[in-house]
Structure 1
């Protein structure tokens, strides 16, 4: 191609790629190069990404690897070279092409799918005829390897492109659009000469290349979404409508891409090997588990470690030390800690906020370097800042800015992209569920040490999804650390097997030891499991007394006696309704400063405030004055990873693993008889023998079918395997638990093959086990398949707001607002409205709230509609509950589903900062 031909094809400037509603546009060819430049900048700064790409493209030069990525990333918006897409802005079409749009080609097919059609129906044949990829072009096309690159690149809306959607000419002006595409690809060949593409294509047999590209496509899709979002940020890539030679603009794009990536907080480098004392100077003598983490061999292969130990053994510190060693050995670039609940995730921030920075050379992102009270806003600005959503109503599909803004509105998602992340396990599970933007989550986990805390808290469905996460993570070269107090052997083996499948093995070696505590490691398909029994310090060996009672009045009495004696108490209940009922017993007896209700039906802002209150009054540093005579009534939010302890713990009967967790909050930190912390833990706790009180149905050897449901009817739905509950109650009749000695036996006697369920409970137990198998099957069905590649293939891809990371009741995000005069304000205040809405949200069962109440007053309804526009999702996946103050109570209406075929019904709700969101009783026939 001579210079004149180069110049003539260098700027297909009649097509817009980005446009704002208030004017201004960015040429499509320039936006395409912006995104390609971000991809190359990311590749240059990420040796891990280079390594991943070289699995599919081995033995190629760095120049060829970059060229290959530039070429395909630049085609991500290929579908915008269409009459249908361009017609959305008739004004720009008139400006750029001097004509109006063709009314016979409306925009009915999204541009990602249009791009795929153009590739399959037009460019694929051209690639063969013109030998874009050298002499092997025909083989590459026919084997389908190039298709995976195009599916990943065109599928940048968070889902793969739809397949088989008609003829490209139905949506394009065949002559004009076809010529523009040819002109643009000719421009790309200036930046990426065909000989570089041919160098890549000649490295592998076509079939081998296709198989490698199919697997790679899952992570490549995430790279494209990320590059598109960064490349759409006008702060770094301002709109440009001035034609210039392609090489000149490419230089600008590369400079801007480097600046955008540097500002994104996405990249970091692990620090060199450091000592345990550097991270935890307050620990003068590492625990046995921590000593194991300091000294266990770390090979050069991806590996999985499963750590089981008692509460107080320092599992978190051991995991962080081991993660650091894996990072320092070049096996990871960061870490992500997944926890079972928001409360446990929030608590984890505080525990490692002073540690994580030392794991990195230079400044890592500030995701973790803040107090809980600033969780939302600092977190939200630290990773991949949201970009201008380009709110242009004339564009029928979401712009990159809009997609980025909505996705990043939920702060928990950002933690996956940070080098140092903490969040709920849901964010991890969504990486392998068929949910929108799962590829971005999968990329976020890429080359991180995945730490899953309290892994025993996964139910059958979550465990099956987690197994898929481990398979994908291992396939991409990731390592994992799984933490638990105790795990049933079957669950342990399944998790290890899942990781092994990602390493290309059929399964991991079989477990052989039943010791507890235990560290189990696996690194190599050819090697055996390393199972290391761990000693237990005398300070965390515990012998708990257990009092099992079936009379609730006895529970109330023992709590009152303890409070009168100046002790602090926590009553852990199995449902919110039971917690509210318990709260009602003490609400009029105790002053507000001595009674805390802690459950999930508070707004995020109020929950964070309650968590801080709990940790301040009952945390490790609390003293007798702050603790004395105070009562916490909590649900499961207090049973895991919350570093608080009480003088007395009462629990509703729950499965034995949950009770062991709850018992871990009983006299957790050594204190004197008054409750002051002992500076020398070796002194031993002076509050007497800790006693766990368990409230449940009367213990009988031969229970009736409704044995559990008769006493705890609401909890019977939460824990449906009543045989396991009976086996737990049976184990408690011994009157004491010795930890760690009894832990393994207790778990296996309830969840393993050691216990025998009474005949009357066999039906409910069999139903629960059958449901667990069905849940596993649904987990298998809902997860992506490594071997299938990034393709829709008839599968429905949900919005992540609707994707079930957990089964059970369907829930909805409810956002509370309050009427202030004639305006509607978020329940929790913040100077930035988007943060205020985040603080004002909570989750509710859809059977209780399914949709917002439409105001009968037109003026008020217009205010509500305006408020919806300020929500991150515009109210699409959430319900706005507007509250009004009436006689000192904040109440508001929402719609609940009708029974059977009945219409939705109005329900009145009350929000109380002490009790949370409560259904308000209304007179019969009202509402």
Structure 2
């Protein structure tokens, strides 16, 4: 049978039901469209790295691979050629009956329809057809599961068994139905070019990675092929089968999918100094630092894609080293983009500008950047360099292709391109670590995340910054990144040896689960700055030369006791008597606010606050202000004469700021060192003479614990809710030896971190009992958290010869990209509630905050109807994370009760309830007063009563 031949019975089978104009889409047409769309994706959208990876299933034969992918996309909706599906549209079911496909005209006459959703039905029909071609069952099932998973969830074994044709034959049809099912799949085998390869393909079982990635491709092809704005329905009752390749070509031209990044292959050979000069605007006469040169050299010599871990001091340019190495890796191995993952939204915002500047430099070099860039933490929707969507501003529902009520919202055509739900599919993405960890979470459409990652180089910044729960996800994701041979660059200034080993081991396990690499070279203090990388199944390390940059920091114990405000005021009056800048870091926001309140009275107009309880727009403004005042010399051109910044942990990661003096609460040693890395970070004139005389020697004062006690009394909130006693006491034991002396950066970083996180007992004997108890509690809690993390975690990559059936079963449903509740899926503990801050103007009308500026401030917010998009976008920038005290059902219910129901229809804001404040910033949540100001952020007060 040729590709233009189908019986009338087969032509009568429908895929998309009658629209308002009376049009419909025959199944054969949707099969053709899907196959042609995926061929276009394969040709123009997939980067070389993914094409090569998929072609490995066929001994590197790309033509065979393309034919296989076309075939699977073409037959993905084969399950619609069944009575169970066709009965859903009475008009079209009657028409099918007129062509010998008899079926009841009522759903009630087909019991157990729910057992055979068309995806699992299609899986069984394809497997049956392949078995008829004399394929082994294991091979047939490895192909069939792609069809079964095209709605985002590969069916579990129990669902597969319940849907077998022999169990429910009335749902699949008999006689003429079976002939039509065979006819449709046979035609697609011929049309796709698969038919000639079937005897050979039957001898191989598709790998799990192929199953996952091609399922993702089929999903995307199905979504595009289901969009009636792109591919019109038919008006005829029984249209003839025609070959119309221009139909899909026109649709893809309108859609204008982003092409992959195509880095210049010359970057592999260009001198490192020239590369850095062109990418990072080095000052005249400056040269790359040794660790940056070493990173590029390792990226050039690695024999295959692998994991590269860069450990270097704060301020040594690890970000630039990672970007340069990523460009080299992409050029060598054909990656089509880059993902940078960071610990927090604040660090993501800061990194976004740096990645944009790097991309601008690449574009200036006339490279093909193309595509799109996304800031992917759900709070900012940046979309630059991206060209073309179906119709700007029009949301076309696709992917909702039958009448099943399956919960949630339909997939939006623009969403997977523009980033609301599928941000990682952009060529370049700067995201919070949650977006990466979601790749280890059992969630619907997980395979799309895996495809997005497989197309990129992945950079993970501050890789030391995650707890046991998140590390459990991180190692699982690294294992899958190893499966896909994804180049990964991990960055840290303070990486414990055990964590270094864990990361490398996880990646190698994905690369080859049967190879046991010798990791002895990773134990203990391996030197510093250090690079560790995988070479196939081997591991290598290299110590980079020192850059010559060194800072000697005097360490002082400060204010024995937890109420240190009087001592702090006295210290700052003394040390800032001739001007200068001081950073005071507190471990909890309440302590930030208390300290700032006292200091504002003593130093009016000279105190700035930075913490996580600001709305997104204000937090972004605060970060820019910090960089403008305290950033590198070329950025901070108006450094204040005297200023005190009181901050939480938001300043310790990925924010390039420089202070003259540091006061910090006791924290784990790696975080103390990160904070010290913001002290005398940049040279400011010869011999630092631009710093006031009392501040020309770098000093850190450690407070937040009472060191007169043995062991030290710890700040209660930090001990119970933030870091735990074990890490704090180990840090105290290490720092105790340095009080009155100094820490040398970078020379002391590795020894201090390895000692604090090592296995040996440290600290005075009289601390031993408390430290042992804290260690035992920490070990038990770590084990419990790791076990808890596995609840919704995907499994290790399946053994060869098995399928991904049940891969995401019993999962969380849809991974929530945008909200704190979504982050709670990959972070331990109760997710903090996020709200939209709105301001009552005194007349009962709601407005956006007035301080946002002329364009965004004071906009009227409708409460009886859905806000227009331009207003909703501003509202989305006013998202605020509440403290954990409000992470409860009572607070959430109260806030939702006060939220206009009409907002639910806005795709930009429907996920967050509203928090209303008055003109003075006051509001109330469950009987407690709260106040929000742009200067202090959110403050929580006593009960109203």
Secondary structure at 2:662 match in 1: strand
Corresponding residue number in structure 2 for 1:257: 252
RMSD: 4.1
Corresponding residue number in structure 2 for 1:270: 263
Given the alignment of the two structures, is residue 656 of structure 1 paired with residue 660 of structure 2, yes or no?
A: no
Distance (whole Å) between structure 1 residues aligned to residue 353 and residue 240 of structure 2: 52
CA 1:31–1:111 in structure 2 vs 1: closer, same or farther (change >3 Å)? farther
Distance (whole Å) between structure 2 residues aligned to residue 28 and residue 164 of structure 1: 28
* Among 799, 804, 814, the residue aligned to 1:790: 804
Deviates more, 1:651-660 or 1:155-164: 155-164
1:864 is displaced (CA, Å) by 0.8
Q: Does structure 2 conserve the Cα–Cα contact (< 8 Å) formed by 1:562 and 1:629?
A: no
Q: Deviations over 1:314-364 (max 9, x none)?
A: 111111221122122225332211111111111112223222255577442
Q: Deviations over 1:823-852 (max 9, x none)?
A: 656667486245334312233466513458
Q: Deviations over 1:727-751 (max 9, x none)?
A: 2442442531001221111011110
1:388-537 equivalences in 2 (<5 Å)? 388-389=396-397, 395-397=403-405, 402-404=410-412, 408=416, 411=419, 414-504=422-512, 505-511=515-521, 514-525=526-537, 527=538, 529-537=539-547
CA 1:503–1:796 in structure 2 vs 1: closer, same or farther (change >3 Å)? same
1:430 is displaced (CA, Å) by 0.9
Q: Does structure 2 conserve the Cα–Cα contact (< 8 Å) formed by 1:675 and 1:687?
A: no
Corresponding residue number in structure 1 for 2:903: 867
Corresponding residue number in structure 2 for 1:597: 609
* Among 889, 896, 900, the residue aligned to 2:921: 889
1:359-370 equivalences in 2 (<5 Å)? 362-365=367-370, 367-368=372-373
Q: Does structure 2 conserve the Cα–Cα contact (< 8 Å) formed by 1:287 and 1:537?
A: yes
CA 1:104–1:373 in structure 2 vs 1: closer, same or farther (change >3 Å)? closer
1:501 is displaced (CA, Å) by 1.6
1:874 is displaced (CA, Å) by 4.0
Corresponding residue number in structure 1 for 2:358: 355
Given the alignment of the two structures, is residue 849 of structure 1 paired with residue 887 of structure 2, yes or no?
A: yes
Q: Does structure 2 conserve the Cα–Cα contact (< 8 Å) formed by 1:21 and 1:390?
A: no
Given the alignment of the two structures, is residue 546 of structure 1 paired with residue 555 of structure 2, yes or no?
A: yes
1:108-257 equivalences in 2 (<5 Å)? 113-120=117-124, 122-129=125-132, 131=133, 136-137=134-135, 139=136, 142-143=137-138, 145-165=139-159, 166-167=162-163, 174=171, 183=180, 186-193=183-190, 196-203=193-200, 206=203, 209-210=204-205, 212-242=206-236, 244-257=239-252
Q: Deviations over 1:508-546 (max 9, x none)?
A: 532166211112222122x5x3322112222x2111111
Q: Deviations over 1:661-719 (max 9, x none)?
A: 111111211125999989xxxxx999511111221322258317xx2145956666666
1:556 is displaced (CA, Å) by 3.2
Distance (whole Å) between structure 2 residues aligned to residue 495 and residue 787 of structure 1: 20
CA 1:194–1:391 in structure 2 vs 1: closer, same or farther (change >3 Å)? closer
1:217 is displaced (CA, Å) by 1.6
Q: Deviations over 1:645-672 (max 9, x none)?
A: 1222221110110011111111211125
* Among 796, 800, 816, the residue aligned to 2:815: 800
1:658-807 equivalences in 2 (<5 Å)? 658-672=671-685, 687-700=695-708, 702-703=710-711, 707-709=713-715, 721-756=727-762, 758-780=768-790, 782-787=793-798, 789-792=803-806, 795-798=809-812, 799-801=814-816, 802=822, 804-807=825-828
CA 1:13–1:754 in structure 2 vs 1: closer, same or farther (change >3 Å)? same
Q: Does structure 1 conserve the Cα–Cα contact (< 8 Å) formed by 2:475 and 2:503?
A: yes
CA 1:192–1:75 in structure 2 vs 1: closer, same or farther (change >3 Å)? closer
1:270 is displaced (CA, Å) by 2.0
Distance (whole Å) between structure 2 residues aligned to residue 255 and residue 487 of structure 1: 52
1:573 is displaced (CA, Å) by 1.4
Q: Does structure 2 conserve the Cα–Cα contact (< 8 Å) formed by 1:666 and 1:690?
A: yes
Distance (whole Å) between structure 2 residues aligned to residue 369 and residue 123 of structure 1: 38
Q: TM-score, normalised by structure 2?
A: 0.83
Secondary structure at 2:443 match in 1: coil
1:811-830 equivalences in 2 (<5 Å)? 811-819=832-840, 829=856
Deviates more, 1:563-572 or 1:319-328: 563-572
1:458 is displaced (CA, Å) by 2.0
Distance (whole Å) between structure 1 residues aligned to residue 372 and residue 884 of structure 2: 32
Corresponding residue number in structure 2 for 1:74: 74
Deviates more, 1:79-88 or 1:480-489: 79-88
Q: TM-score, normalised by structure 1?
A: 0.84
Given the alignment of the two structures, is residue 318 of structure 1 paired with residue 356 of structure 2, yes or no?
A: no
Unaligned runs of 5+ in 2: 268-273, 817-821, 860-868
Q: Does structure 2 conserve the Cα–Cα contact (< 8 Å) formed by 1:34 and 1:257?
A: no
1:72-111 equivalences in 2 (<5 Å)? 72-81=72-81, 85=85, 101-104=105-108
Secondary structure at 1:784 match in 2: coil
CA 1:674–1:225 in structure 2 vs 1: closer, same or farther (change >3 Å)? farther
CA 1:147–1:722 in structure 2 vs 1: closer, same or farther (change >3 Å)? same
Distance (whole Å) between structure 2 residues aligned to residue 378 and residue 50 of structure 1: 26
CA 1:195–1:816 in structure 2 vs 1: closer, same or farther (change >3 Å)? closer
Q: Does structure 2 conserve the Cα–Cα contact (< 8 Å) formed by 1:365 and 1:383?
A: no
CA 1:676–1:216 in structure 2 vs 1: closer, same or farther (change >3 Å)? farther
Corresponding residue number in structure 1 for 2:294: 292
Secondary structure at 2:684 match in 1: coil
Distance (whole Å) between structure 2 residues aligned to residue 770 and residue 651 of structure 1: 29
Distance (whole Å) between structure 1 residues aligned to residue 421 and residue 384 of structure 2: 10
CA 1:153–1:555 in structure 2 vs 1: closer, same or farther (change >3 Å)? farther
Distance (whole Å) between structure 1 residues aligned to residue 374 and residue 210 of structure 2: 34
Given the alignment of the two structures, is residue 39 of structure 1 paired with residue 38 of structure 2, yes or no?
A: yes
Corresponding residue number in structure 1 for 2:50: 49
Deviates more, 1:370-379 or 1:864-873: 370-379
Q: Does structure 1 conserve the Cα–Cα contact (< 8 Å) formed by 2:262 and 2:331?
A: no
Q: Deviations over 1:194-252 (max 9, x none)?
A: 9943544433674xx22x43342222222223323333444433444445444434541
1:381 is displaced (CA, Å) by 6.6
Distance (whole Å) between structure 2 residues aligned to residue 392 and residue 517 of structure 1: 52
Q: Does structure 2 conserve the Cα–Cα contact (< 8 Å) formed by 1:84 and 1:171?
A: no
Secondary structure at 1:355 match in 2: helix
Q: Deviations over 1:254-277 (max 9, x none)?
A: 4423653xx222523222223412
1:511-660 equivalences in 2 (<5 Å)? 511=521, 514-525=526-537, 527=538, 529-538=539-548, 540-549=549-558, 550-551=560-561, 552=564, 553-562=566-575, 565-590=578-603, 594-620=606-632, 621-623=634-636, 625-660=638-673
1:866 is displaced (CA, Å) by 0.7
